[in-house]
Amino acid sequence: MPSFDIASKVDLQTLDNAINTVKKEIAGRFDFRDSHVSVELNKKDYVVSLEVESDMKMKQLIDVLISRAIKQGIEGTAFDFSKDAYPSGKVVKKEVSVRNGLKQDDAKKIVKMIKDSGMKVQAAIMDDIIRVTAKKIDDLQEVIAKCKTAELGIPLQFINMKS
């Protein structure tokens, strides 16, 4: 039976390349000259630590981070900006976590959406991916189209298509 997997993963090397590109751009920008800027990636926990002098520069740094990540092929929704920036001495710090893997509640929401659509497919949660199987490939393509148009707030990849 044809099947495919729905995943939400961020490639660590691509993320590292995006962070390095951000560092290079910030080093060359006139508005960040002679100011303290730190962008660090914790590869183990998938957390980007940002450190700048003011809230305005923090917003600019976040814009640069999102635009460079998108150019590297990472969706902007992969970053979780829910934590507020906090002052620490003369600098403003912010921890931005990168969503890697489907959380259980997100997976349940996707499976519910697929089952409510009435398509003749089976969806099963397997750790941090969702396996979707059907009798026809056309049904699987409908599921992919439905997931792409749904506003879920998380980046999705469709992998391991087998016929």
Point out the domain boundary residue: 44, 65, 98: 98
We report the CATH number of the domain holding residue 56 as 3.30.70.990
Q: What is the pLDDT of residue 110?
A: 92
Question: Under DSSP, is residue 144 helix (H, G, I), strand (E, B) or coil?
Answer: helix
Contact 129, 102 (CB under 8 A): yes
Q: Are both 94 and 46 inside the same structural domain?
A: yes
Tell whether 105 and 93 lie within a shared domain.
no
**What value does the mean pLDDT take over residues 141-154?**
89
pLDDT digits (tens, 9 = 90+) for 101-143: 888 999 999 999 999 988 899 999 998 899 999 999 998 999 9
Claim to verify: residue 64 and residue 116 sit in the same structural domain = no
Indicate whether 22 and 87 sit together in one domain: yes
Contact 109, 152 (CB under 8 A): yes
Half-sphere exposure for 40 (CA within 13 Å, toward CB): 10
* pLDDT surpasses 90 at 154: no
Count: domains in the chain: 2
Specify burial of residue 145 (Cβ count, 10 A radius: 0-12, 13-18, 19+): exposed
Measured in residues, the chain has a length of 163
Here the tokens at position 141 are 């393509």
Q: Are residues 90 and 106 in the same domain?
A: no
89 and 105 share one domain: no
What are 25-45's pLDDT values in tens digits?
999 989 888 889 999 999 999
Q: Are 134 and 120 in contact (CB under 8 A)?
A: yes
- Residue 83 has φ and ψ, to the nearest 5°, of -75, 135
